[in-house]
Structure 1
Amino acid sequence: MGFLKDLATLTRQGYEAQQRMDVGASMAQAQASMAEASRIMAATTPAATAPHLEAQRLRTTASVLDARQLPMMFGMNAVVDLELHVLMPGGVPMPVTRTEQLAPLHLARAVPGATLDVSLVPGRPDTLRIEWA
């Protein structure tokens, strides 16, 4: 008898919760979350560069000024906003902000004050690629 009473109570509570649920607000929130995930995914996916630009790519180093983990994960990868100072040939630092998906293995390397190996096409900060390997 106790099982059927509990089942009836749970059924009643489920119907009451369904009556209070705002489907439109839930769908709007889900849509906003998907748009934000799409924006982050596009920002962390490196853009393909033309072959003639790849030939001009220089390897250099960058200092991490700031690293902020975003409240989002893609699989096991954390999404991190990195503020970098890239040391260009001739000693001129160039500020670059980059959103990266970081594997747990690389997360500890992206701390303020760390030096990272990077490559980029001179004058094109959008071509910055962090060389994790």
Structure 2
Amino acid sequence: MGVFASYFKVMKLTNEMEKNSDVKGDLARMQAGMNGANQTLATMTAQRRSAERAAVDGPVDGPVDGRVDGRAERIEAAATVTQFVPTGMVIAGRPVIELNLVVLLPGGIPLPVAHSTAIDSAQASRLVPGARIVVTLDPADPASLRIDWSKPSPV
């Protein structure tokens, strides 16, 4: 087969493909698929931002008083940091750390608690082993512990 015969064969196949293809329909289907993907991405982005805001501003480690979910009373207590371990995770640009604490409940009862939280660099200096911090928690549910960063370290 010569060069010209190959050329004409390719041209014939190209012309047949152009006749048989529905470019507008294909583009419409692709656009609909892209719109669906964009909607999914927007939803996922909104969920991620909401989770980041909750980690930064939300119920995690801020001043807490009164009742939680209309249930148990929270108490304020002093806690001593026994261990500070970076987890390697980052939420909203803040490193997540695992703390081991001994919370001194009213009446002098020590309660060991493990707690994970995202921290700012300024807060990290307050979390060395032996440091004392103010926390709030429901004594019946140690997992409800929140660090009150607004209060100075107790003496």
Normalised by the length of structure 1, the TM-score is 0.60
Structure 1: runs of 5+ lacking an equivalent? 1-37
- Are residues 1:92 and 2:101 paired? no
SS of residue paired to 1:132? coil
The share of aligned pairs that are identical, in percent, is 31
Indicate if the aligned counterparts of 2:74 and 2:138 stay in contact, CA closer than 8 A: yes
Letter of the 2:70 partner, please give it.
Answer: P
Larger radius of gyration: 2
Give the letter for the 2:91 counterpart: F
- After TM superposition, the structure 1 = structure 2 runs for residues 34-73 of structure 1, keeping only pairs within 5 Å, are 46=60, 49-53=68-72, 56-73=73-90
Number of aligned residue pairs: give it. Answer: 89
- Residue aligning to 2:4: none
Shift of 1:52: 3.0
Higher strand share: 1
2:128 partner amino acid: V
TM-score normalised by length of structure 2: 0.52
Amino acid at match of 1:67: F
* CA distance in 2 between partners of 1:52 and 1:73 (Å): 31
Q: Which residue of 1 aligns with 2:32?
A: none
Q: Secondary structure in 2 aligned to 1:113?
A: coil
**CA distance in 2: counterparts of 1:99 and 1:77, whole angstroms:** 12
Q: Secondary structure at the match of 1:51?
A: coil
Which string of whole-angstrom CA distances, capped at 9 and with x for unpartnered residues, describes residues 3-50 of structure 1?
xxxxxxxxxxxxxxxxxxxxxxxxxxxxxxxxxxx9xx8xx774x932
> Residue type matched to 1:52 in 2?
R
How far 1:121 sits from its partner (Å)?
1.2
Report the RMSD for the aligned CA atoms in angstroms.
2.1
